[in-house]
Structure 1
């Protein structure tokens, strides 16, 4: 998905992609992803002509007029004439640093319920990706010390954990020594004070 800055920078002549629902409902598809050449913009809306040819929407054709809210844009290609308006953004962050995590979180059996960050100690000097210090446990409600100790664990990339449960990504840059437990009533992670 394009960032908010990229969506805000869309102007005339740019190409945007959106999911367009079939009206009336088509035989094959409920919706299609299609490109629209923008001809007019407002702060919240885009207007343009359909640059794609629908596969199964008899009432919509290449060149049809389309109006859509900016929030519906799923991709954007800036026109060469608008290149100076395209926001310069840092490359997307990658999450290759390692962490220790309960296998039940990786398997999708449990969501992240408790996590803490300690001074990294798992890595070796020649490791390509360092230890992040994050230690991630699955939901611990009702678990005994014995069942917790029996859980299998893995030392893997943070990205693999985030692929299964990213509910804690806003905590990823917390300092060493931080720890959090999920409040299952609010769904929020609460800092545990020492």
Structure 2
């Protein structure tokens, strides 16, 4: 009987905690309170990778039905058919730790309601200098203008525009740095010094001071 815990000759389970630590605004994990409710019959999502590494997929996220729990140690059965992990099949038993869980499918409406969150708010889009995304410069200036995209977009434009700190780049770099249209959470993962400003209205402009505070600039007419 194939049973895998963290690694096996056929696959390994990812520990998602380092990824979440690096990307707190865009990589959501269940809270400790949620994990405490996981028990027999709960359907949880884990991240698997083939061993040796698959040429088609870096990883596959799949559901597992919990059959046994002993503290932080769990045993379940795979509830998906892997795309490219040949030695793993639907119904196989999988041993894992509570920290391997990246998602929970709550059958109980009460639990589903209790653990609902507004994590998607960090996926609204913005324009940002690539120098910020590449960690070559901190955020130096932020302003909000009318959205350029349709409201029906799954993740609409927030209107926020984020510029790099000119003091950390040459004038040529600052003038020529490309920008990207990304989730605002991707910017906050690099520099969240302006997160408290995100509820400010269209027309708002803020310049970063020497520290991490921001001064409001005169709004353009």
**TM-score, normalised relative to structure 1:** 0.57
Which structure is higher in helix share? Answer: 2
Change (3 A) 1:56 1:142: closer
Is the Cα contact below 8 Å between 1:47 and 1:67 reproduced in 2? yes
Unaligned stretches of 5+ in structure 2?
Answer: 1-27, 152-156, 216-221
Q: Which residue of 1 aligns with 2:164?
A: 137
Q: Which residue of 1 aligns with 2:212?
A: 191
Aligned to 2:99, what secondary structure does the other structure show?
Answer: helix
Q: Tell me how far 1:142 sits from its aligned partner.
A: 5.4
Unaligned stretches of 5+ in structure 1?
Answer: 182-189
Whole-Å Cα distance in 2 between the matches of residues 73 and 166 of structure 1?
A: 22
Q: Which residue of 1 aligns with 2:208?
A: 179
Is the Cα contact below 8 Å between 1:47 and 1:65 reproduced in 2? yes
Q: Which residue of 2 aligns with 1:167?
A: 190
**TM-score, normalised relative to structure 2:** 0.52
Change (3 A) 1:16 1:141: same
Q: Tell me how far 1:47 sits from its aligned partner.
A: 1.7
Is the Cα contact below 8 Å between 2:135 and 2:190 reproduced in 1? no
Is the Cα contact below 8 Å between 2:139 and 2:165 reproduced in 1? yes
Residues 32-181 of structure 1 correspond to what in structure 2 (within 5 A)?
32-54=60-82, 56-58=85-87, 60-78=88-106, 80=107, 82-86=108-112, 87-91=114-118, 92-94=120-122, 96=124, 101-102=128-129, 104-105=130-131, 111-117=136-142, 122-123=145-146, 132=160, 135-137=162-164, 140-141=167-168, 143=170, 146-147=171-172, 150-151=175-176, 159-160=182-183, 162-163=185-186, 166-169=189-192, 171-174=194-197, 179=208
Whole-Å Cα distance in 1 between the matches of residues 159 and 54 of structure 2?
A: 52
Q: Tell me how far 1:13 sits from its aligned partner.
A: 0.7
Which structure has the bigger radius of gyration?
1
Q: Tell me how far 1:68 sits from its aligned partner.
A: 0.7
Deviating above 6 A after TM superposition, structure 1's stretches of 4 or more consecutive aligned residues are 26-30
Structure 1 residue 18 corresponds to structure 2 residue 41:
no
